[in-house]
Each structure stands twice: as structure tokens, then as C-alpha cells.
């Protein structure tokens, strides 16, 4: 395993520090259930040191030529690629995703760094006409100052880069807290950056710990902007904590993505995309299809193909590169099982999968099998609550209008999917869905797009121009030169 044991877990002001706290958090390999490392929970005093270091470094960092900040991110992309194999192995060990998806996440992390580097000389403001004689108004884009980044466990390295890259290129400094379940890939990348790049002290800091440490960052007066990815309840707690100082928050939260399959959809293609989306990373992605609305004219054909394809999904040791690895933890496995049990109690039926696994890949490991639920209706909890596991409920609908009505009947509003070969149906659905992103006849986002949750799925938006500019605040300057 590629974790460097010499790395101690708090990276503050350009140096690794042993924590003075006495709380050790075990990091458990979800495939073997073995403890592979322990990280500390940063003390309040250590948090203060990290945010103070970021504060002290910020003026100089923002004053540097923008290209210098972009160049650092280009170098970050290079070192990620150079260390890709080691980072991918660490990622598999702590998170349980398959080795090919881990490699994809590492590649994506380099891409995120390089993409954000390109904003270095493109964070442009505006010059607008004044309202008196010989007046000009400049709208400047300035950094917020110190950004706190709080990361979930499902994409530990790509979300790490997704937080610090746009923050740093805009002239902010950052303190990042990985999830307590998956801190090792973040620490491994931080270690490589520190050893190989000329990163000024204090510009990027990493502290480990759980919710207490995250809340401590949010409440810290030195923090100007909090960007968090995680679940809805945590997001709401962060917003409440941030209210005391009116700290700006960006919250990228959970989802309950619907997939609508219309009467004239290409069924083979819809099945392929939905199976891929529901089972990638063992169903633990905020954009995963979580409920399927299929038109009654094609529901029998869709269901039969979909059930077969889900039954064919292989799961097992993620280093052997099957389609799926285990769930991240016993807690997440229990939640997925509870969602299946609850659906069955409410009248759903298992078409494939279910809780009991006939031939589990190994005695240890948090295994869940791909599961399709039929006889599902819109009132059931499995249609409304996020299920972070490979469980796919199918609901038959009579019309496009009913599909949209059901899809929008949700407190979430992140990703959504349409499979249709009717131009007018697809356009109607795209415009009527109350979701921040809609994929038509496909799946998978891009750095230059924009990933944004509506409704309770968040308050923020990442990627692309609009994501990059979120790390800047406008300043108006009135020039009077008469
Ligand atoms: P989580 O909310 O449990 O934890 C996320 C982070 O918040 C962790 O680092 C955790 O330590 C920290 N935290 C916990 N309590 C806190 C508090 N009171 N104050 C500050 N920080 C606190 O989420 P998770 O289980 O790690 O991640 C899964 C969730 O993330 C799912 O709901 C998923 O849909 C969502 N997610 C969303 C996106 C997106 O882009 N919208 C991407 C990935 C994951």
C-alpha cells in the first residue's frame, strides 16, 4: 500500500505537525475491514494555527502575478500524474472504489488542477460607464481571503483538488479538511506537493478530524468562505454555524437523481447508462440515477433488459477491477440495507439482488449487491430518500407529464437524466425538470460545464467559469476624474 508512514497528519504553514490532541481516528479498508492507519482529530488550537497561517499568507499570495498561481496548479497536475499509480492504490485501500475508477479519479484530479490553472489570466472584471461627467466604474474580482474546504469520502482526492484549485488561482489561501473516513489520499497528495513544488508556506493547509473539526473551521473568524461537499443535514448545520459571522457558504449536497425513459427511447442505450450510473463507485455518487420512471409502452422491455444487466454487474476485490467494490463502511451498508428493507415493507419486490448475498466475494468487506426493486410507487420512501448504494427502483408512468411531475416531487434537485429519441419530449422534459443539471441520452459531467444542486441539493455550484468565479467577490471602484 502506498501510504507514506512518515507523513504525520496535520499540514500547517508549510510543515507537517504531530497533533497534540489525543483522539485517534481509525481509517478502515472497506474491503478487508482492517485498520490501515490512524489520524488525529486536530485540536481547536491547531485549527487556529492553520487558519492564522492561511490568513498570514494570503496578501502575498494574492499580490503575485496571476500566472504564477496558475503555474503552481499546472505543476500540481504534473505531480498528480507522476504519482498516479501510488495515489490510486491508496485511494482503493481507503475508499474501496475499483482500481480503474480510482485511476480515473486521479486523472480527473489532474484535469481539475489544469483546467482551473487556465483561469489565472481570465478572471476578468468589468468596466462600466459612470453616471456623472467623467466618471468610470470598475468592477474588480477580488479573492475572499481564507477558504475552508470540507470534503466527503466518496471522491477524496478529486474533491480536494476541486476545492483548492479554484480557490488558490483566484488568490485565496485554503485550509482543507478531508473526511475522517478517507484522509489518506489527501495527505499523500499534500505530501507530494510539499516535497516537489515550491508552494509558499500557509497557502494550502490540511487538518484531519470529523464533524467537530469541520464545525471549528466554519466558526473560525479567520475563515471568509466555506465550501463543503456532503449531505443535506451537514450542509444545514454548516449554514447555521456560518450565520454567526455571515461567512459565505457554498454547499454541494446530496441528490436523488431521476431517469426518465420515454416511449421511443433507445432502450439498450438507456439501460447501459443507467446501470453504469447506478453502480459506479458502488452507487456512492451524488449524480447516480436513484429512481427510474419508464413509460408503460416500453416498461416490460426496459425492465427485463435492466434486471439482466444489473444481475451481471460483478462486485468484489476492487484491486481485481470488477464493476464494483464494497460500500465505504458498515454504517453506509446498514443504511442501504435499511432502504431495501423499508421498500419491501412498503410493498416493493426484489427483481434481482436484495440483502442476502449467496456467494459473497470474501468473508470481510462491506458488500452490497446490485438490486432492482419493482412494484414501486411514488409514495414510497425509497423514491424520496437518498440511497447511497446500488439500489434501483422502477416506477411505470403513463405520460411524459406524469414522469416530470414525479421527478420534481423531491426535496433534492441535483442531477437528472432523460432518455428519449423524441426531440419535443426531450426538450419539454429538460425545461420542466427542477434540477441543476440534466443529462440527455448520456451521463457524466465535464470540468468546463457546471455542477449545481437546486432546492435542498445545495447552495453553490462548481466547475466551469461560474464555479471558478464563485471564489471571487466583486468590488466596485468609482473613478471621478473631471
Ligand atoms: P457528510 O455530510 O457526512 O460529511 C461531509 C464532510 O462534512 C466530512 O468531512 C465531515 O467530517 C464534515 N462534517 C460533518 N459534520 C460537520 C459539521 N457539523 N460541520 C462541519 N463539517 C462537518 O457527507 P459524506 O457522508 O462524507 O458524503 C456523502 C454525501 O455527500 C452524500 O449525501 C452525497 O450525495 C454528497 N455529495 C455531494 C456531491 C455534490 O457535488 N453535490 C458530491 C459528492 C458527495
Identify which has the larger pLDDT, 312 or 3: 312
Q: Is 214 in the pocket of ligand 1 (CB under 6 A)?
A: yes
Q: What is the dihedral of CA 215, 217, 218, 222, to 10 degrees?
A: 150
- On whether the CB atoms of residues 411 and 393 are closer than 8 A, the answer is no
Best mutation site among 234, 285, 386 for ligand 1 pocket (most ligand atoms within 8 Å of CB): 234
Report the alpha-carbon distance of residue 384 to residue 380 in Å, rounded: 7
User: Angle 32-157-460 (CA atoms, 0-180°, nearest 5)?
Assistant: 125
Q: Quick one: 343 exposed, middle or buried, by C-beta within 10 A (0-12, 13-18, 19+)?
A: buried
Domains of the chain: 10-253+456-479 (3.40.605.10), 257-446 (3.40.309.10)
Q: Which residues pair with 175 in a beta bridge?
A: 148, 205
Residues 131-154 have a mean pLDDT of 98
pLDDT, tens digit, 9 for 90 and up, residues 235-254: 999 999 999 999 999 999 99
pLDDT, tens digit, 9 for 90 and up, residues 52-63: 999 999 999 999
**pLDDT band per the 50, 70, 90 thresholds, residue 1:** very low
Closest CA to 438 of 422, 420, 465, 456: 420
Protein residue with its CA nearest to atom 30 in ligand 1:
230
- On whether the CB atoms of residues 182 and 93 are closer than 8 A, the answer is no
Ligand 1 atom nearest to 386, measured from its CA: 32
Extract the C-alpha cell encoding 413: 434537485
Ligand 1 atom nearest to 151, measured from its CA: 9
> For residue 266, is pLDDT > 50?
yes
Protein residue with its CA nearest to atom 42 in ligand 1:
286
Q: Which residues pair with 251 in a beta bridge?
A: 228, 459
> For residue 4, is pLDDT > 80?
no
Three-state helix/strand/coil letters over 22-80: CCEEEEECCCCCCEEEEEECCCHHHHHHHHHHHHHHHHHHHHCCHHHHHHHHHHHHHHH
Q: What percent of the chain has pLDDT over 90?
A: 98
Residues 389-418 have a mean pLDDT of 98
**pLDDT band per the 50, 70, 90 thresholds, residue 8:** confident
pLDDT at 78: 98
> For residue 312, is pLDDT > 80?
yes
21, 101, 141, 176, 182 from 213: Cα distances, Å:
12, 29, 30, 11, 15
pLDDT at 296: 98
Q: What percent of the chain has pLDDT over 70?
A: 99
pLDDT, tens digit, 9 for 90 and up, residues 54-110: 999 999 999 999 999 999 999 999 999 999 999 999 999 999 999 999 999 999 999
- On whether the CB atoms of residues 90 and 1 are closer than 8 A, the answer is yes
pLDDT at 482: 84
The angle, 0 to 180 degrees and rounded to 10, between the axes of the packed helices 84-95 and 66-82 is: 70
Cite the active site residues.
252, 286
Q: Is 211 in the pocket of ligand 1 (CB under 6 A)?
A: yes
Q: Is 253 in the pocket of ligand 1 (CB under 6 A)?
A: yes
> For residue 187, is pLDDT > 50?
yes
Residues 284-307 have a mean pLDDT of 98
pLDDT, tens digit, 9 for 90 and up, residues 220-238: 999 999 999 999 999 999 9
pLDDT, tens digit, 9 for 90 and up, residues 325-368: 999 999 999 999 999 999 999 999 999 999 999 999 999 999 99
Residues 268-285 have a mean pLDDT of 98
Best mutation site among 160, 214, 230, 283 for ligand 1 pocket (most ligand atoms within 8 Å of CB): 230
Extract the C-alpha cell encoding 320: 481485481
Ligand 1 atom nearest to 235, measured from its CA: 2
Protein residue with its CA nearest to atom 12 in ligand 1:
211
Q: Is 458 in the pocket of ligand 1 (CB under 6 A)?
A: yes
> For residue 299, is pLDDT > 90?
yes
User: Angle 146-152-156 (CA atoms, 0-180°, nearest 5)?
Assistant: 90
How many angstroms separate the alpha carbon of residue 132 from the centre of ligand 1?
49
Report the chain's mean pLDDT, rounded to a whole number: 97
> For residue 177, is pLDDT > 60?
yes
How many angstroms separate the alpha carbon of residue 151 from the centre of ligand 1?
6
Protein residue with its CA nearest to atom 15 in ligand 1:
211
How many angstroms separate the alpha carbon of residue 179 from the centre of ligand 1?
8
Amino acid at each position: 500500500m502506498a501510504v507514506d508512514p512518515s507523513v504525520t497528519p496535520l499540514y500547517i504553514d508549510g510543515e507537517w505537525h504531530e497533533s497534540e490532541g489525543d483522539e485517534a481516528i481509525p481509517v478502515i479498508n472497506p474491503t478487508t475491514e482492517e485498520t490501515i492507519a490512524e489520524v488525529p482529530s486536530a485540536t481547536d488550537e491547531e485549527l487556529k494555527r492553520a487558519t492564522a497561517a492561511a490568513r498570514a499568507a494570503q496578501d502575498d499570495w494574492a499580490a503575485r502575478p496571476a500566472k504564477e498561481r496558475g503555474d503552481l496548479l499546472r505543476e500540481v497536475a504534473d505531480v498528480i500524474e507522476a504519482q498516479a499509480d501510488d495515489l490510486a492504490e491508496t485511494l482503493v485501500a481507503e475508499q474501496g472504489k475499483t482500481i480503474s475508477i480510482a485511476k480515473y479519479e486521479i486523472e480527473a484530479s489532474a484535469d481539475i488542477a489544469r483546467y482551473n490553472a487556465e483561469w489565472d489570466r481570465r478572471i476578468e472584471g468589468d468596466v462600466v460607464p459612470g453616471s456623472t461627467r467623467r466618471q468610470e466604474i470598475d468592477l474588480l474580482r477580488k479573492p475572499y481571503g481564507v477558504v475552508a474546504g470540507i470534503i466527503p469520502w466518496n471522491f477524496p482526492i478529486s474533491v480536494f483538488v476541486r476545492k483548492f484549485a479554484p480557490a488558490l488561482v483566484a488568490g485565496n489561501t485554503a485550509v482543507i479538511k478531508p473526511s475522517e473516513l478517507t484522509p489518506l489520499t489527501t495527505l499523500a497528495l499534500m505530501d507530494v506537493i510539499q516535497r516537489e513544488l515550491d508552494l509558499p508556506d500557509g497557502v494550502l493547509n490540511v487538518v484531519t478530524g470529523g464533524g467537530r473539526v469541520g464545525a471549528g473551521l466554519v466558526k473560525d473568524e479567520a475563515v471568509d468562505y466555506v465550501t463543503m461537499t456532503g449531505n443535506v443535514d451537514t450542509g444545514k448545520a454548516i449554514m447555521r454555524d456560518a450565520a454567526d459571522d455571515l461567512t459565505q457558504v457554498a454547499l454541494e449536497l446530496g441528490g436523488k437523481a431521476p431517469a426518465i425513459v420515454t416511449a421511443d427511447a433507445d432502450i439498450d442505450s438507456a439501460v447501459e447508462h443507467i446501470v453504469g450510473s447506478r453502480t459506479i463507485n458502488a452507487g456512492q455518487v451524488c449524480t447516480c440515477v436513484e429512481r427510474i420512471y419508464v413509460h408503460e409502452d416500453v416498461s416490460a422491455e426496459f425492465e427485463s433488459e435492466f434486471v439482466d444487466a444489473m444481475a451481471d454487474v460483478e462486485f468484489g476485490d476492487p484491486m481485481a477491477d470488477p464493476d464494483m467494490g464494497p460500500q465505504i463502511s458498515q454504517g453506509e451498508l446498514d443504511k442501504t440495507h435499511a432502504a431495501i428493507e423499508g421498500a419491501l415493507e412498503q410493498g416493493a419486490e426484489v427483481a434481482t439482488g436484495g440483502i442476502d448475498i449467496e456467494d459473497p466475494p470474501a468473508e470481510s468487506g462491506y458488500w452490497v449487491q446490485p438490486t432492482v426493486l419493482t412494484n414501486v410507487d411514488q409514495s414510497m420512501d425509497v423514491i424520496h430518500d437518498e440511497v447511497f448504494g446500488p439500489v434501483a427502483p422502477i416506477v411505470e408512468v403513463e405520460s411524459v407529464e406524469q414522469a416530470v411531475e414525479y421527478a420534481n416531487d423531491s426535496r433534492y434537485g441535483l442531477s437528472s437524466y432523460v432518455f428519449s429519441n423524441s426531440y419535443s419530449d426531450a426538450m419539454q422534459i429538460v425545461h420542466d425538470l427542477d434540477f441543476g443539471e440534466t443529462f440527455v441520452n448520456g451521463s457524466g459531467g465535464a470540468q468546463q460545464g457546471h455542477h449545481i444542486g437546486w432546492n435542498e441539493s445545495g447552495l453553490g455550484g462548481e466547475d466551469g467559469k461560474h464555479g471558478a468565479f464563485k471564489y471571487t467577490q466583486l468590488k466596485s471602484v468609482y473613478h471621478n476624474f473631471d
